[in-house]
Amino acid sequence: MHIDHRGFTLTETLIVLSILSVLLGFGINNTIGYYESIKLQGNAEKIAAGLRLAQNKALTSGNTETSNGVQFASSGFPTPGSKNTIVVTNLKHKIKKVIVSNIGRIRIE
């Protein structure tokens, strides 16, 4: 009588499944972290775009314009005493700063 010994034992199958579940867990965690950082960058860019729009409106209209606590004079420069740093955070406590310099340059750090 010939016995066929092909296949995997239960122990081998459980070891492979446990290794795969650990690798999958790391992959999902990294993907969520990447998604959160992309969302944070996008929110900072939206705020910077709103600031640039207010700055352009101030330049073209000749009036002061305000966005997110930053007031721009008709020259396009922020008015003295207005806010110059906006901090954006996410659920993982990562931060991005939207900074308006004294000469009106808007950047994200």
Evaluate whether residue 37 is within a structural domain. Answer: yes
Evaluate whether residue 5 is within a structural domain. Answer: no
In tens, the pLDDT along 52-108 reads 999 999 999 999 999 988 999 999 899 888 889 999 998 888 999 999 999 899 999
Evaluate whether residue 97 is within a structural domain. Answer: yes
Give the number of other CB atoms < 10 A from CB of residue 31: 10
C-alpha 33 chain-centroid distance: 10
Evaluate whether residue 3 is within a structural domain. Answer: no
Evaluate whether residue 2 is within a structural domain. Answer: no
Evaluate whether residue 6 is within a structural domain. Answer: no
Q: How many domains does the chain contain in total?
A: 1
Q: pLDDT at position 38, please?
A: 93
- Domain that includes residue 19, residue range: 11-108
Give the C-alpha separation, 91 to 46, whole Å. 18
In tens, the pLDDT along 11-61 reads 989 999 999 998 888 888 778 888 889 999 999 999 999 999 999 999 999
Q: pLDDT at position 1, please?
A: 62
Tokens 């207005």 locate to 82
